[in-house]
Each structure stands twice: as C-alpha cells, then as structure tokens.
C-alpha cells in the first residue's frame, strides 16, 4: 500500500482510518472514484475501537427530542444487520424502573412504542414488559428492592474495530489504497485549494507527497488538529476549531463477577447519567462515562475516578455482585468528537448529530455523529465531495453513480446463510480445518470473521501448528496472527492484540503472556530484526500500562 500511495493522483485523499474514513472509502470506490486513506496509527485506533460497541437507535435521544437522529439510527441498524450479520447481533436491553425513577412505567412504555414505531416495527424483536417476578428469572442479578418492572427491548451489539476493518478491506478490494501508520505532516495547497498532503511512514520515517482532487478530514477527535496542520503553499490562518471532545471510559470484568443475560440500562446513582452493563462472551463490561476532555486522543485513559464512578453504578444495580478494583481486568477510553455548541449544555446533552463542512481552501471535514450511522454519513460526505469535484472540474466530465453500499455485504458476510444460522458456517469452518481445531474455536472464529473464518481454518489444515492457542484455555489461535498480517493490514503487535484478537481486553493478563510469541511470529512474516521486535513489544507493553494507569491513583 505504501508503495502505491502517491504513485499517481487520486480523486479523494481521506485522512483518518476510523469508521468514517473506511466508510467513505468503501462508498467512493464502489462509485468508481479513486481513493487513498492514510492514518497515523492502525485502522480504528481511536474512537472507532473505543465505543460502547453498540449499533443502536439511541433510546435516550428521544428524551432530548432528537427524533430524526433516532429514526436514522434504527433504519441503519436494520441495514447493518443485513450487511454484517456476523458482526451486528441482536441484544436484549432491560430498562429497569424503580419507585424513585424519574420516569414511571407508563411513560417508559410509551417511549418503547415510539422507539419500535420509528424502526417501522422492524426491530430485532418487539419489546415486552416484564414484571418484578419475571425479572427474577430473566435477570436474577438485578436489584429487586423497589423494582416496579422493566421493558425488554432489542438493539444490537457489534465488534466496532472489526466493523471498521471489514469496511476498509472491502474498500481495498474495490481499489482503495489503505495505508496505516502513515501520518499527514502538512497539507499541500495550490491556487488557494488543498490538493494533497505530505505523509510520513511512522515505522520507517520515509515521506512522500500524495496528490488528490479533494481531501477529506475524517480524523474524529483529531479533527481540530488536522484543521490546524501547516499548509505548504499557503499562509492562510487555520480555520476555527469545531469539536467539544468528551471522554468515555469502560471497565471489563469476568462475567462470573457480573453475570448478565441482557444489557441493562443504568442511571448513575449520583448524577443520573445513562450508562450500560453489557454481557460480552465470558466477560461483562460497564460504561460509559461522559466528561469533557480536551487532551491528546492518543493518550486518553481511565482514571481512578472514572473506574470508581463505573463501579458505583454497577454496585447500585447489582448489589449481590459488588465489584472492587481487583475485579477490573481491563479498561478502555476514547474521546467522542462532538460538535461544539458553545457553553451551556452539559456533556451528555451535546447532540450526536454530525456536520460536514467545506473550508475556504476546499478541505472537506466530517465531524460528530455515531457509529451506528457511519454508512449514511459516508454517503453524505462522498455526495459532498462529488459536488465539489464537479464544480472544480475535478471529475473531467465523468459521471459518478449514486451510493451502492446498502445491499453489498461486508466481506465476512459473503456466503452467509439466508436464515442467519451461524451453526452452518461453524460446521464449514470446522470441516475446513481438517480436525485441527475444536468446535468451540470454530464458533469463536465464526463470531469474529464470519465466512472469512473458513480461510483461517484452511491455514490450520495446511500447517497444524497454527491451530495452537495463544493463551491456554482461550480460543484465540496462532493462525489469526498469520491472517492479520497477510490479509488484514496488521503491522504491529498492538494492531494484532488490541484490535484483531481483542486479547488486550479479554485475557486476564491482557495478552502480555503471549506478546513475545506474537512478536516473534510477526517478525518472521514481516522481516523484523531484533531491535524492531523489541520496539514493537515495548509499544504493546506501554499500551497495557496506559490502560492500567488508573491503578496508580
């Protein structure tokens, strides 16, 4: 990808490899535009791998009268369930109502009917009201004192990093140049218009200029920093900042410590902010916080105060399963790139709507928005870019087709059963492995990769040593490292352990026990010398240390 980057001008240069950047590239390439995407780190390094991992309409936004946002979100939820059934899965949500709750059951029930109605009654399942007695069976860990009942409604969970990754892979299959660990150091300006960027390879130090008819800033919480980049060929002042960044923190615990059957909507006992307790395979996680944080998005991390805040909320709702600091396996933290609406609104009241701006020099910026609506936002950005190119004669008379992403499945959903029966794919994966992996590992691979898991199983059949677990007792295997490097653009140990396998979050040791083995295997594939291998190992250890920084108080 680096060798191809800059070898010829492209129609669109997209700065940022998060969900918006990947979505823009996928939409644009499927319309016939040439696209290059650059990111200073890995795909989904920022907010796109640090969300609450939900594809949802945002029930709480009804209370803020953002009906349009909710309608758009539930519509996109339905589409994403079809495009990526292996990554977007129905999840039950309980909304417990107590005697002291700020909304009574009647109001909540009315909100549920409105929520279902906005989805045109195409939710994964219709909501239903549960009595306190029903809840003793449905969610036995939930506090029962003063409980009046709870509606059970349905949204979806996702693997946010993999959703981004598969979107980028599809873009690459359609011709996009996707270059990670490639940092934009300056924008190129000619005749008063941004026409490209200087890019530095963060792993080798090499630099090159990339020319484009239009440049798109899709850098999420780095938006203002990108807007402020130096301009080669212009001394115009940087445009004003756009963002109000707020920090969201999650904690991960063993599911035995916090046994959940459904996601539970919680109101914090102190400030009444909404957060969730969510089941996650053999783990559970609680989040998120919502506090202003103007700091460096690359170094955002949980504090002791953040962790205590989340533990307090969990213990208020699940008093028989109280959590302590010792129960926290991992944390993650990210910054929401919200549009700055000026003083007055608290963090949770700031709109999640997005905004597309064309600057005076022609730089197109997308900011704000939600993970759930990324595909719709991508369409709007590409539509905006096409109009800009038509006005500037950047298309040379070419006709650009409308968006084609609504019906095209992501790579892992190609060949997925029409009846959504994942067990059929699991059987194919197990068969392709020729007996080298268990049914449990085949199921775990299918959950992560969809039909692409068959190729990983075939690696194991050809080289049985690749079926070896990375961590004893866990389903992640060495073949995933091979696949990540060869097929998923993984370039560092962090790429693999944080976003390709998620051992960083799920393993009790956060992957430290297998990091050397991973680095050794990657080094063989990528030709690392010992100094590079040690550098990448230390980079990963530093990432783990940052996630544990809160323990220092």
Q: What is the pLDDT of residues 410-439, one digit of tens each?
A: 999 999 999 999 999 999 999 999 999 999
**For residue 473, what pLDDT is reported?**
95
* Max intra-chain CA distance, the chain: 71
**For residue 532, what pLDDT is reported?**
97
Q: What is the pLDDT of residues 442-472, one digit of tens each?
A: 999 999 999 999 999 999 999 999 999 999 9
Q: What is the rounded CA–CA span in Å between residue 531 and residue 45? A: 24
Q: What is the pLDDT of residues 36-90, one digit of tens each?
A: 999 999 999 999 999 999 998 777 666 665 677 778 888 899 999 999 999 999 9
- List Cα–Cα distances, 548 to 312, 332, 463, 516, in angstroms: 19, 9, 36, 20
pTM of structure: 0.95
The CATH-assigned architecture of domain 414-552 is Orthogonal Bundle (1.10)
**For residue 125, what pLDDT is reported?**
75
- Whether the CB-CB separation of 40 and 182 falls below 8 Å is answered with yes
- Whether the CB-CB separation of 522 and 536 falls below 8 Å is answered with yes
Instruction: Please report, for the chain, the start and end positions of each structural domain, with discontinuous segments joined by +.
Output: 10-47+161-239+351-391, 88-157+244-341, 414-552
| Listed residue (150, 64, 26) closest to 348, CA to CA | 64
**For residue 529, what pLDDT is reported?**
97
What CATH number labels 10-47+161-239+351-391?
Answer: 3.50.50.60
Q: What is the rounded CA–CA span in Å between residue 45 and residue 425? A: 29
Is residue 343 pLDDT above 60, yes or no? no
Mean pLDDT, rounded, of the chain? 93
Give the model's confidence band at 237: pLDDT under 50 very low, under 70 low, under 90 confident, else very high: confident
The residue whose two tokens read 């993999």 is 162
**Percent above pLDDT 90 for the chain:** 83
Is residue 35 pLDDT above 70, yes or no? yes
Q: What is the pLDDT of residues 478-517, one digit of tens each?
A: 999 999 999 999 999 999 999 999 999 999 999 999 999 9
**For residue 121, what pLDDT is reported?**
58
Give the model's confidence band at 393: pLDDT under 50 very low, under 70 low, under 90 confident, else very high: confident
Is residue 107 pLDDT above 90, yes or no? no
The CATH-assigned architecture of domain 88-157+244-341 is 2-Layer Sandwich (3.30)
Is residue 144 pLDDT above 80, yes or no? yes
Q: Give alpha helix (H) positions in 392-529.
A: 422-432, 439-449, 453-462, 478-487, 493-494, 503-506, 515-526
The residue whose two tokens read 């040439």 is 34
Give the model's confidence band at 341: pLDDT under 50 very low, under 70 low, under 90 confident, else very high: confident
């Amino acid at each position: 990808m680096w060798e191809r980057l800059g070898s010829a001008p492209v129609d669109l240069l997209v700065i940022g490899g998060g969900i918006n950047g990947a979505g823009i590239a996928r939409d644009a390439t499927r319309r016939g535009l040439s696209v290059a995407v650059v990111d200073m780190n890995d795909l989904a390094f920022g907010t796109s791998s640090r969300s609450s991992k939900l594809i949802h309409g945002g029930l709480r936004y009804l209370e803020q009268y953002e009906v349009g946002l909710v309608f758009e979100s539930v519509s996109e939820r339905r589409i994403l369930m079809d495009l990526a059934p292996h990554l977007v899965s129905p999840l039950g949500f309980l909304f417990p109502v107590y005697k002291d709750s700020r909304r009574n059951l009647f109001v909540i029930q009315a909100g549920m009917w409105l929520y279902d109605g906005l989805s045109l009654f195409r939710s994964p399942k219709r909501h239903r009201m549960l009595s306190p007695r029903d809840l003793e069976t449905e969610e036995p860990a939930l506090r029962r004192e003063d409980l009046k009942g709870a509606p059970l409604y349905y949204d979806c969970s996702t693997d946010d990093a993999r959703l981004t990754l598969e979107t980028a892979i599809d873009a690459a299959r359609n011709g996009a140049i996707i270059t990670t660990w490639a940092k934009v150091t300056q924008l190129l300006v000619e005749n008063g218009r941004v026409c490209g960027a200087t890019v530095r390879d963060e792993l080798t130090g090499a630099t090159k200029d990339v020319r484009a008819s239009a440049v798109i800033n899709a850098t999420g919480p780095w938006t203002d920093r990108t807007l402020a980049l130096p301009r080669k060929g212009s001394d115009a002042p940087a445009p004003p900042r756009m963002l109000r960044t707020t920090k969201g923190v999650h904690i991960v615990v063993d599911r035995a410590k916090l046994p959940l059957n459904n996601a539970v909507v919680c109101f914090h006992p102190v400030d009444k902010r909404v957060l969730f307790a969510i089941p996650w395979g053999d783990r559970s996680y609680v989040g998120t916080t919502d506090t202003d944080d103007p700091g460096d998005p690359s170094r955002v991390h949980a504090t002791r105060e953040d962790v205590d805040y989340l533990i307090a909320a969990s213990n208020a709702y699940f008093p028989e399963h109280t959590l302590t600091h010792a129960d926290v396996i991992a944390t993650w933290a990210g910054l929401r790139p919200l549009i700055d609406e000026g003083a007055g609104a608290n963090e949770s009241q700031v709109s999640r709507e997005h905004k597309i701006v064309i600057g005076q020099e022609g730089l197109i910026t997308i900011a704000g928005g939600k993970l759930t609506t990324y595909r719709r936002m991508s369409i709007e950005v590409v539509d905006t870019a096409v109009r800009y190119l038509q006005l500037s004669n950047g298309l040379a008379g070419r006709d650009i087709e409308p968006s084609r992403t609504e019906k095209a499945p992501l790579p892992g959903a190609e060949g997925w059963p029409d009846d959504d029966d994942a067990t059929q794919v699991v059987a194919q994966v197990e068969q392709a492995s020729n007996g080298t992996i268990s049914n449990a590992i085949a199921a775990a691979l299918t959950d992560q990769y969809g039909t692409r898991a068959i190729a990983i199983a075939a690696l194991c059949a050809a080289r049985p040593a690749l079926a070896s677990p990375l961590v004893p007792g866990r389903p992640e295997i060495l073949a995933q490292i091979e696949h990540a490097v060869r097929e998923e653009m993984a370039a560092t140990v962090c790429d693999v352990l944080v976003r390709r396998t998620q051992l960083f979050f799920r393993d009790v040791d956060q992957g430290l026990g297998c990091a050397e083995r991973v680095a050794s295997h990657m080094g063989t594939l990528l030709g690392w010398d010992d100094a590079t291998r040690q550098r990448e190992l230390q980079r990963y250890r530093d990432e783990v240390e940052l996630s544990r920084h809160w323990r220092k108080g």
